[in-house]
Amino acid sequence: MSGIYHLEITESEDELKALLRSQKTASSKERIQFLYLLKSEQASTIQQAAKLLGRHRVTVQKWAKRYRDGQLAGLLSHKP
């Protein structure tokens, strides 16, 4: 399973762009950017998104799981 993972992103590209502009922390911006890369098809897999963001694939997979389980609130929460 080299990065192939279906993640249904409910927000539109425009909503994600607006969210990117409104984020106050670098970590939140990076997580929204992850969603934007997938939604805009600049990355077609989590592995590609991780590479573009300069993050490890496992980190980005965790973000995907948090989004899948809790949508934006889950993705942006700062749990250890």
Report pLDDT for 6.
75
Report pLDDT for 7.
86
0.85 cut: is pTM over it?
A: yes
Give the whole-angstrom CA distance, residue 78 versus residue 80: 7
Give the whole-angstrom CA distance, residue 45 versus residue 26: 22
Tell me: pLDDT of 38 over 90: yes
Give the whole-angstrom CA distance, residue 70 versus residue 74: 4
Label residue 1 by pLDDT band (50, 70, 90): very low
Tell me: pLDDT of 80 over 90: no
Angle at alpha carbon of residue 52, lines to 3 and 70, rounded to 5°: 60
CB burial readout 42-72, b (16+ within 10 A) else e:
ebebbbbbbeebeeebeebbebbebbeeeeb
Report pLDDT for 9.
94
